[in-house]
Amino acid sequence: MSLLDATPFSRWLRGRRAHGGSGFSNFDEEQIIRKYVAALLPDEQDQTAVDLGAGDGIRHSNTHALFASGWRGLAVEYDSRRAYRLARTYRAHSNVFVCRCRVTPQNVVPLLSAYELAPEFGLLSLDIDSYDYWVLDALLTEFRPRLIVTEINEKIPPPIRFVVKYDPVFELRHHFYGYSIESLAELCARHTYALIELEYNNAFLVPKEIAPVPALTATTAYRRGYLERADRRTKFRLNEDMEVLHTLKPEAGIEFLNRFFARQAGKYEIGLAAPAEQLVCELSEV
């Protein structure tokens, strides 16, 4: 029995649908996942998902629809209250393992290995609001998911590289988390993944050798998936204090971010894409 039968969740789902939402994911990630699953994962053997930062398993979930339809997999959440709700969500689903732990770059590979996941499992959803870059980088040394959905820090435009450093006692602060899409593109290049779509703040990645569409540059993905979306300022009202970044030159943008994150000095990496990478971005816009 899913928590969808419980009053708070039913109320949330009704309210979401009343405002034009569909499914469980934050925006249209669920529909995009369905599209790429059909193209990339036609075999039943690929129907395995891993959700790192699974929340309660329902609200804004990229994997609930998959697990509810019979997919196997692992859902991980560190927050005790959300982890309790997550366990209740999947208590009747023998196909889903639930784990409460803090995922780190050091433990992510042993964690997935302990649950005997195949190296090329079907889907990874990553959203831990912290040092996501380092977790994904570590995971991709041993695993190669056929589809990855990962949250970026959508406020920070290319060509700015921004990555929160690993901190074992990290605490989420205003806008200070994750990584920019430029840093994600760099990580993709290192692990031969293709960035194929951005849905506001969630990027979709696939191994280059099976990509169903041409890879996008960070600039193109950001422009199409976030910057030029007519409703983004309505959907992301809390980003207004970072909106100035879209009017600044990259160097000035870095200065702004260093001032904005002054209290977190030394806890993040920041810079610009290499000139050659910027040239590729510019050519892609022609």
Looking only at the bridges linking them, the beta strands covering 96-100 and 160-164 are: unpaired
pLDDT at 286 over 70: no
More confident residue, 24 or 99: 99
> Nearest 5 degrees, angle CA 188-CA 137-CA 112?
120
* Separation CA 87–CA 97 (nearest Å): 9
For 94-146, write each residue's pLDDT tens digit.
999 999 999 999 999 999 999 999 999 999 999 999 999 999 999 999 999 99
Give the tokens for residue 73: 């997999």
Domains defined along the chain, listed by start: 22-284 (3.40.50.150)
* Separation CA 80–CA 113 (nearest Å): 23
For 176-209, write each residue's pLDDT tens digit.
999 999 999 999 999 999 999 999 999 999 999 9
pLDDT, residue 275, reads: 72
Q: Which residues contact 71 (CB under 8 A, 6 or more apart)?
A: 47, 48, 49, 63, 95, 122
Q: Across all residues in the chain, what is the average pLDDT?
A: 90
pLDDT at 8 over 70: no
If pLDDT is split at 50, 70 and 90, which confidence band does 277 have? low
Best CA proximity match to 146, nearest among 30, 50, 242: 50
Backbone conformation region of residue 53, classed left if phi is above 0, alpha if psi is from -120 to 50, else beta: left
Q: What percent of the chain has pLDDT over 70?
A: 88
> Nearest 5 degrees, angle CA 70-CA 35-CA 115?
40
pLDDT at 225 over 60: yes
Lowest mean pLDDT among 23-27, 97-101, 136-140, 238-242: 23-27
If pLDDT is split at 50, 70 and 90, which confidence band does 5 have? very low
Q: Please, which residues bridge with residue 197 across strands?
A: 204
Strands, sheet with 202-207, edge to edge from the N-terminal-most edge strand: 96-100, 72-77, 48-52, 123-126, 147-151, 202-207, 193-199
pLDDT, residue 285, reads: 44
Q: Tokens 């806890």 sit at which residue?
A: 267
Average pLDDT over residues 236-257: 98
Residue type, 229: R
- Hey, how many other C-beta atoms are within 10 angstroms of the C-beta on 143? 18
* Separation CA 88–CA 99 (nearest Å): 12
pLDDT, residue 13, reads: 53
148 near 194, Cβ under 8 Å?
no
If pLDDT is split at 50, 70 and 90, which confidence band does 3 have? very low
More confident residue, 5 or 201: 201
